[in-house]
Amino acid sequence: MSEESKVTTKRFIAGAVCPACSAADSIKMWDVDGVPHRECVVCGYADTLNEQGQSVPSELGTRVNQIKPKTADPQVQAVQFFPNPKLKKKTD
């Protein structure tokens, strides 16, 4: 019985107390690439544990960080064309 399933199994940690909202038995835990992740189902608090087993809170702004900065293309310039009235041909 050696399943190599990539499906992450989230399991509740009995007796665990959420460090954010202090709710008991609300912590789910699972591994991602050997890194333990925790998540509170009550308040949404999430963190990971580093190599030292210390809590590393997940940043809330990860979505923002994933957005690529919009860089203006320097080769595209807005060209405003003002017709010179002096070049206007007079129609007889």
Stretch that binds Zn ion, among 2-10, 38-46, 58-66, 73-81 (CB under 5 A): 38-46
| Residue 45 interacts with Zn ion (CB under 5 A): yes or no | yes
For residues 17 and 39, is the Cβ–Cβ distance under 8 A? no
- Which of 31, 43, 55, 56 is the binder for Zn ion (CB under 5 A)? 43
Question: What 3-state DSSP class applies to 65?
Answer: helix
For the chain, the helix, strand and coil percentages under 3-state DSSP, each to the nearest 5: 10, 25, 65
Q: Which is nearer to Zn ion, 3 or 56 (CB)?
A: 56
- If phi over 0 gives left and psi between -120 and 50 gives alpha, with beta otherwise, what is residue 35? beta
Our CB check for Zn ion shows the closer of 18 and 47 to be 18
Question: Which listed residue (8, 11, 13, 21) binds Zn ion by CB under 5 A?
Answer: 21
Q: Under the rule (CB under 5 A), what is the footprint of Zn ion?
A: 18, 20-21, 23, 40, 42-43, 45
